[in-house]
């Protein structure tokens, strides 16, 4: 994607648009998200340093930013209604994202070039992790996403816009890859040949959850849809999950998509863009921690078919992300942020390697799920 620039002056103006009090101290790009431009800014408010998060929405990905912001505001409101999200006393403002309204009363500000901005209270003393280093982190994250799904259960689906149509329609993702390969607009087919072949060899996986859903075996629910582990903040001291973030894709979906993306991002010690594929492996104890955390919090409403397919969901989401990275590589890196020439191809290779490892571990992962349900 084309990176948009930022200046101190732009961040100061954003602060004014959102009516932030005090004196602007500093600010700059923040975090490792692949989609929006995120900035942390610090203000001096009568002697106390207070931070905020500004986000410039990626309008290439979110074609209707007004609808997107309606969703985000609705989900924040729903989550903050009393009793919906567990939080220790005095910690409520850290357990739910809080939007700072713009001075004109909307939840967003539109700058001179038409970009949409939003502002959140900065969740302090917590961090996100691109790679996790202990099963307890997987357990905590899975509990947070499970609780988040339970919290969404009484949010009527028709109150939400579909911010990205067919987001997890893996068959359509595969079709998009085939189109991109045929067009080959960047002349990148040669280095991607073996990945394309691998993508085709796993075609049957693309339809597994869609078929179960079409047959009525698994229901549509309101879900998060982007549950990679760095979309949950863990407390720096206790390690407990504090807050689920990145609410742009909360919309009707399948519970298993949420579990699957946790598996993709938690079970391997390798980074999503690791170039040494020998580091990609499955850590069964991390899978167990995820399954335990998710079943403990979402188990009450999960149906037998959902429980049974927890391992399949991990494979599916790993495959789907591999397809998406490869498609973006072939299209010239127009969707995900990249910081090196073959970044998306490297990301795809990691996903496909992880899929192979998950397939090898399949029996063990099913045994783990059975032992939890026993």
Where does this chain bind ligand ADP (CB under 6 A)? 30-31, 33-36, 38, 53, 97, 120, 122-123, 128, 230-231, 245-246, 248
Site stretch for Mg ion (CB under 5 A), options 6-14, 133-141, 244-252, 309-317: 244-252
The only residue of 27, 33, 260, 314 in contact with Mg ion, by rule CB under 5 A: 33
Query: What pairs with residue 234 in β-bridges?
Result: 127, 241
Q: Which two tokens stand for residue 301?
A: 């409403």
Tell me if 137 sits within 8 A of 57, measured CB to CB.
no
Give the Cα separation of 297 and 295 in Å (integer). Answer: 5
Q: Which two tokens stand for residue 73?
A: 């505001």
Nearer to Mg ion, 15 or 33 (CB): 33
Give the Cα separation of 241 and 173 in Å (integer). Answer: 32
Q: In the complex, what is the shortest distance from the CB of residue 42 to ligand ADP, in angstroms, rounded to a whole number?
A: 12
Nearest CA to 345 among 205, 189, 202, 230? 189
Partner in contact with 321, chosen from ligand ADP, ligand GN1, Mg ion, none, beta carbon below 5 to 8 Å by kind: ligand GN1
Nearer to Mg ion, 95 or 230 (CB): 230
Nearer to ligand ADP, 34 or 221 (CB): 34
Q: Pattern of binders to ligand GN1 over 228-247, x per CB under 6 A?
A: x--x--------------x-
Which residues 6+ apart lie within 8 Å of 85 measured at CB? 79, 92, 95, 96, 147, 148, 151
Q: Is 37 in the site for Mg ion (CB under 5 A)?
A: no
Q: In the complex, what is the shortest distance from the CB of residue 33 to Mg ion, in angstroms, rounded to a whole number?
A: 4
Strand runs labelled E in 30-187? 37-45, 48-56, 109-110, 116-121, 126-127
Q: In the complex, what is the shortest distance from the CB of residue 165 to ligand GN1, in angstroms, rounded to a whole number?
A: 12
Interacting residue ranges for ligand GN1, rule: CB under 6 A: 33-35, 61, 226, 228, 231, 246, 248-249, 272, 321
């Amino acid at each position: 994607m084309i990176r948009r620039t930022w200046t101190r002056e732009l961040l100061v103006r954003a602060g004014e648009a959102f009516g932030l009090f005090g004196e602007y101290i500093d600010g700059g790009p923040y975090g490792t998200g692949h989609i929006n431009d995120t900035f942390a800014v610090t203000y001096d408010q009568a002697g106390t340093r207070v931070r905020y998060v500004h986000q410039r929405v990626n309008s290439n990905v979110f074609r209707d930013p007004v609808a997107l912001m309606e969703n985000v505001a609705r989900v924040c409101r729903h989550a903050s209604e009393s009793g919906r999200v567990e939080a220790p006393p005095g910690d409520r403002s850290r357990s739910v994202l809080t939007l700072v309204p713009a001075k004109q009363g909307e939840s967003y500000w539109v700058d001179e070039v038409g970009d949409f901005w939003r502002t959140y209270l900065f969740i302090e003393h917590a961090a996100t992790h691109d790679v996790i280093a202990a099963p307890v982190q997987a357990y905590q994250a899975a509990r947070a996403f499970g609780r988040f799904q339970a919290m969404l259960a009484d949010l009527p689906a028709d109150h939400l816009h579909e911010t990205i149509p067919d987001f997890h329609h893996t068959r359509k993702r595969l079709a998009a890859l085939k189109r991109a390969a045929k067009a080959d607009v960047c002349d990148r087919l040669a280095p991607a040949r073996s990945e394309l072949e691998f993508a085709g060899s796993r075609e049957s996986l693309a339809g597994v959850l869609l078929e179960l859903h079409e047959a009525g075996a698994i229901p549509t629910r309101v879900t998060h849809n982007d549950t990679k582990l760095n979309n949950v903040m863990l407390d720096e001291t206790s390690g407990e999950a504090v807050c689920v973030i990145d609410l742009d894709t909360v919309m009707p979906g399948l519970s298993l998509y949420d579990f699957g993306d946790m598996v993709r991002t938690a079970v391997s010690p390798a980074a999503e863009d690791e170039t040494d594929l020998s580091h990609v492996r499955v850590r069964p104890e991390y899978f167990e921690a995820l399954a335990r955390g998710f079943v403990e919090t979402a188990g009450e409403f999960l149906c037998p078919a959902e429980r049974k397919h927890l391992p399949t969901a991990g494979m599916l989401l790993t495959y789907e992300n591999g397809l998406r990275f490869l498609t973006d590589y072939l299209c010239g890196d127009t969707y995900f942020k990249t910081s090196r020439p073959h970044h998306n191809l490297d990301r795809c290779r990691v996903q496909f390697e992880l899929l192979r490892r998950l397939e090898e571990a399949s029996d063990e992962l099913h045994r783990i799920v059975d032992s939890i349900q026993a």
